[in-house]
């Protein structure tokens, strides 16, 4: 039995849109000679991740490979797409050359890369996987909007809006700041909830942060009925939540531990 050498599978986080947020490590990896992989929603369609590298002045190598990940919730379609993508990735890794998969945002946060790497390693456990962290969309959105996500002992939750308004309503009482990702399908429902809770004024909508077409909107009522982009999120801060007791309790626990 002969040993089969595979190249490494590297997930390079490129940040949410501004190429200046690409880390030095990701930048060096993109120029290391590793073969590029990049995600698309459909064959022959443009890639958002690839566009970030392009805006940074990095030319797409001639041998870069697109992997199709369709935007659907159909489990049968998704299973076939993941199987094809993983098989193609493993086929390329078997050539012995490293592959770098371009990831918008951060590769460990709601990203395609984690799933791809997991399926590839199910097929070939010996494949070495490296994840290069990057700036998440919600961190960039907070910076662009001039907001602080959490201070001292304040709490922060990051969830897809698809969990629904019932879960969101509950979490508003449990966390000081709530980040609602992929807000597009439930935007109007969430806006109605925030209006009932009196939280419209302390919330902010951010779309395509750092990329052409970026929008930061604080007048959330103006968004009702609008068709917003897929790459959009809401930063919701609840100034009405009682925070003092929690902070005093944390300090009390630390004092006991120190004693």
Across the chain, mean pLDDT equals 90
pLDDT confidence of residue 72: 77
252 within a domain of the structure (yes/no): no
User: What is the rounded distance in angstroms from the CA atom of residue 22 to the CA atom of residue 186?
Assistant: 30
Task: Examine the domain organization and report whether 104 and 165 are in the same domain.
Answer: no
Q: Which of 66, 101, 132 is the last residue of a domain?
A: 132
Task: Examine the domain organization and report whether 221 and 157 are in the same domain.
Answer: yes
Task: Examine the domain organization and report whether 98 and 165 are in the same domain.
Answer: no
Q: Which of 98, 132, 166 is the last residue of a domain?
A: 132
Q: Which of 93, 116, 132 is the last residue of a domain?
A: 132
DSSP letter, residue 121? H
- For the residues 230-254, what does the mean pLDDT come to? 68
Q: Is 242's pLDDT higher than 70?
A: no
73 within a domain of the structure (yes/no): yes
Task: Examine the domain organization and report whether 103 and 200 are in the same domain.
Answer: no
pLDDT confidence of residue 42: 87
3 within a domain of the structure (yes/no): no
115-141 pLDDT, tens digit per residue, is 999 999 999 999 999 999 999 999 999
CATH number at residue 221: 3.30.950.10
pLDDT confidence of residue 6: 96
Task: Examine the domain organization and report whether 34 and 113 are in the same domain.
Answer: yes
Task: Examine the domain organization and report whether 196 and 230 are in the same domain.
Answer: yes
- For the residues 213-241, what does the mean pLDDT come to? 92
- For the residues 153-168, what does the mean pLDDT come to? 95
- For the residues 72-99, what does the mean pLDDT come to? 91
What's the whole-model pTM score? 0.88
pLDDT confidence of residue 127: 97
259 within a domain of the structure (yes/no): no
4 within a domain of the structure (yes/no): no
Task: Examine the domain organization and report whether 89 and 161 are in the same domain.
Answer: no
pLDDT confidence of residue 248: 44
- For the residues 166-181, what does the mean pLDDT come to? 96
- For the residues 75-86, what does the mean pLDDT come to? 88
The domain in which residue 107 lies consists of 9-132
């Amino acid at each position: 039995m002969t040993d089969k050498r595979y190249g490494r599978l590297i997930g390079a986080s490129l940040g949410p849109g501004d190429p200046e947020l690409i880390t030095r490590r990701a930048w060096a990896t993109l120029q290391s000679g590793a073969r590029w992989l990049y995600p698309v929603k459909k064959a022959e369609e443009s890639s958002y991740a690839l566009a970030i590298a392009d805006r940074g002045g990095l030319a797409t190598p001639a041998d870069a490979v697109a992997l199709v990940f369709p935007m659907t919730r159909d489990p049968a379609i998704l299973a076939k797409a993941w199987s094809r993508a993983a098989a193609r990735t493993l086929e390329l890794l078997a050539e012995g050359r490293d592959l770098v998969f371009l990831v918008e945002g951060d590769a460990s946060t709601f990203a395609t890369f984690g799933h791809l790497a997991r399926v590839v390693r199910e097929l070939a456990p010996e494949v070495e996987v490296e994840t290069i962290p990057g700036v998440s969309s919600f961190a960039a959105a907070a910076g662009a909007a001039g907001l602080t996500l959490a201070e001292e002992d304040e709490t922060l939750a990051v969830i897809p809006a698809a969990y629904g308004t019932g879960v969101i309503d509950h979490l508003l009482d449990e966390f000081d700041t709530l980040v609602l990702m992929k807000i597009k399908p439930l935007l109007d429902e969430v806006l109605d909830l925030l209006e009932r809770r009196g939280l419209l004024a302390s919330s902010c909508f951010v779309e395509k942060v750092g990329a052409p077409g970026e929008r930061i909107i604080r007048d959330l009522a103006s968004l009702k009925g609008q068709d917003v982009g897929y790459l959009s999120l809401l930063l919701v801060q609840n100034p009405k939540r009682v925070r003092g007791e929690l902070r005093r309790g944390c300090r009390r626990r630390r004092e006991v531990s120190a004693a």
